[in-house]
Amino acid sequence: MKKLLFFLFLVLNIITVYACKCKTDPLAENYLAADVAGIIRIINVYGENAEQRTYKADIKFEKIYKGKEFQTLNIRGLIGNSYSGACEIDVQPGETYLILLNKYNGEYSISYCSPKYRFDMEKEKATSEVLEKAFAYIDKNKFAFIGLQFATCFDELQKGDKSDLSAIKNFTPKNTFAIYKVKVDDHSKIKELTPVTTFGDKDQEIENILRRNMIVDTPMFFNHKPGEEFLILLLYLPDNANTKYGEIINFEW
């Protein structure tokens, strides 16, 4: 029995040592922090370095939101044999990603933890345009957001495959995104809400759902205090209308 317990102890410690832990920030925070943001297509992968466990990818920008385009991306891992437990990633030619990156030592690199999202330009064309408008607004007003952090929410009352926000009927927004400044209580519930910019349709219903249903998922490693203020970005994503678990009004996508 003691040998079994000792074996389990070793296994658990090995798992702990090699587990990949990522700091995950909201989309808007990643955008503000990045010096380049855009949708890229992987053209080719090559240049594997087995010792450093890295390889390279030639890329093409399908859309650029911020910064300057580049052509080569360093990837953490081995081609076709990357280990996510070590924060490595496997990318394939033809795949597309939204990336929000900063240059390090003169180069751009991605790992499992890097701010990136799989993207389908054919199926998510409307989403790419929503992001363009939201990012442009955030850029234009970034100085007004100094001292505040963007956060996401989750619907604690959700029962089906979509939240109450996405269940709003006859929603025809004039704007494709909305931003709210919120204060939270010690249970991370919204106790005060101030619109910064709205969808222009069903705004009162949206505010009621935010107050009633949502728990604010405060940023990781943030020393949250009751009454703290955060910014909430909502996106209108019609591409998700016929997707199971896809949210039409969402904090990410």
Delimit the domains of the chain by residue range: 27-118, 125-250
The two three-digit tokens of residue 49, written as one number:
């370095």
- On average, the pLDDT of the chain sits at 90
Residues pairing with 99 in the sheet: 38, 116
For residues 218 and 221, give the distance between their C-alpha atoms in angstroms, rounded to a whole number. Answer: 9
Q: What is the pLDDT of residues 164-208, one digit of tens each?
A: 999 999 999 999 999 999 999 988 999 999 999 999 999 999 999
27-118: which CATH architecture?
A: Beta Barrel (2.40)
Q: List the single range of 69-73, 200-204, 225-229, 242-246 with lowest mean pLDDT.
A: 225-229
Q: pLDDT (tens digit, 9 = 90+) per residue, 71-121?
A: 999 999 999 998 888 999 999 999 999 999 999 999 999 999 999 999 998
